[in-house]
Amino acid sequence: MENIAEEVLKGNRLALSRAITAIENEHENATEIMKTLYPHTGHAYVLGVTGPPGAGKSTLTDKLAKEYRQQGKTVGIIAIDPSSPFSGGAILGDRIRMNGLTLDEGVFIRSMGTRGSLGGLSHKTADAVKAMDAFGMDVILVETVGVGQSEVDIVRAADTTMVVLIPGMGDDIQAIKAGILEIGDIFTINKADHDGADKLATELNMMLDLDGVEKDWRPPILKAIASQNIGIAEVVATFQKHYDYIRSTGELTARRTERTKNEMLDLLDGRIGSYVRSKIVDNGKLDAYVEDIKARKTDPYTVVEGIMQDMLK
């Protein structure tokens, strides 16, 4: 393929797939691809779907995608969850049945592995989102497992984040509340066919109140039974409400500005880090410095100052 990025912009699916592979593998042409795609980004509405393993995130994502397709919107899906690979069951399944074997051109699904550091994964995910955005997807769903800091970073690529919880989590909710309360714009209690959904909703409500800070947007708590397609339309309607809210208040712009800032700083950190590694780690200089420091011939502060001065020359 001559020019992957140009082909992505023309709507070539194979090119989109290759672009994301280049991003994922940190291929040397990934930066050039991103440079070409970047001016064409910023149109998609990016939704994060996060929560503990087995909560039904993939099932929900699948049903949400199908709902958006029925509204005529194109949908990109990025699934970061090695424990339960995304099957695309409902969206692809129905369409395959409807149109023989032709796949729905309006959907693009990509799983991304957690090979390498999760930190690296958050910027790869952000770039994969941009590739799908430039390709022309109206809505991009990012499914990520867990509630730790790395997942929070991944979710930062989203305009709106939905946290999926399930009844019967007991004390778990205490353990994860610090992280989830901050990142959730919307909470969905899935598996509402199980006992305890109302209890969990009450607990969650209390926690959100305890938060204390008066906010214009009080995260709604929804209930769903994803496996039975129950509550999906309400989730989509609530996403729309949140989108309208962040758009009208300037919050969307603020979030995207913050994201751009962080992306730039991450890029710089990464570049400076690799520069330093190439200058002092890979060639064994670091070991030599360490020997000198151990022998008290010099100290870490002087060495680092010297390295910085060399770098800035």
CA 267 to chain centre: 17
Q: Does 111 bind ligand GDP (CB under 6 A)?
A: no
Q: How many of the chain's residues bind Mg ion (CB under 5 A)?
A: 4
Q: Which of 50, 58, 122, 144 binds ligand GDP (CB under 6 A)?
A: 58
Short-list 106, 103, 58, CA closest to 78: 58
User: Which of ligand GDP, Mg ion, none is residue 179 near (CB under 5 to 8 Å by kind)?
Assistant: none
Task: Classify residue 33 as exposed, middle or buried by CB count within 10 Å of its CB (0-12, 13-18, 19+).
Answer: buried
Give the residue with the Cβ less far from Mg ion, 15 or 75: 75
193 binds ligand GDP per the rule CB under 6 A: yes
- How far, in Å, are 59, 82, 234, 297, 302 from residue 290 at the CA level? 52, 39, 60, 10, 12
DSSP 8-state class, residue 40: G
- Measured CA to CA, the distance from residue 105 to residue 127 in angstroms comes to 21
226 binds ligand GDP (CB under 6 A): yes
63 binds ligand GDP per the rule CB under 6 A:
no
57 binds ligand GDP (CB under 6 A): yes
Single residue of 81, 127, 159, 185 touching Mg ion by CB under 5 A: 81
53 binds, among Mg ion, ligand GDP, none (CB under 5 to 8 A by kind): ligand GDP
The two three-digit tokens of residue 168, written as one number = 């019967």
Closest listed residue to residue 59, CA positions, set 302, 244, 224:
224
Q: Which residues pair with 165 in a beta bridge?
A: 189
Site for ligand GDP contains 227 (CB under 6 A): yes
Q: Does 6 bind ligand GDP (CB under 6 A)?
A: no
* Residue list 131-190, contact with ligand GDP (CB under 6 A): 190
Nearest to 68 by CA among 139, 142, 159: 139
Residues 90, 63 contacting (CB under 8 angstroms): yes
Closest approach of Cβ 48 to Mg ion, in Å?
Answer: 13
Q: Residue with CB nearest Mg ion?
A: 58
- Which segment (205-213, 219-227, 252-260, 300-308) binds ligand GDP by CB under 6 A? 219-227
Contacting positions for Mg ion (CB under 5 A): 57-58, 81, 84
Contacting positions for ligand GDP (CB under 6 A): 53-59, 81, 84, 190-191, 193, 225-227
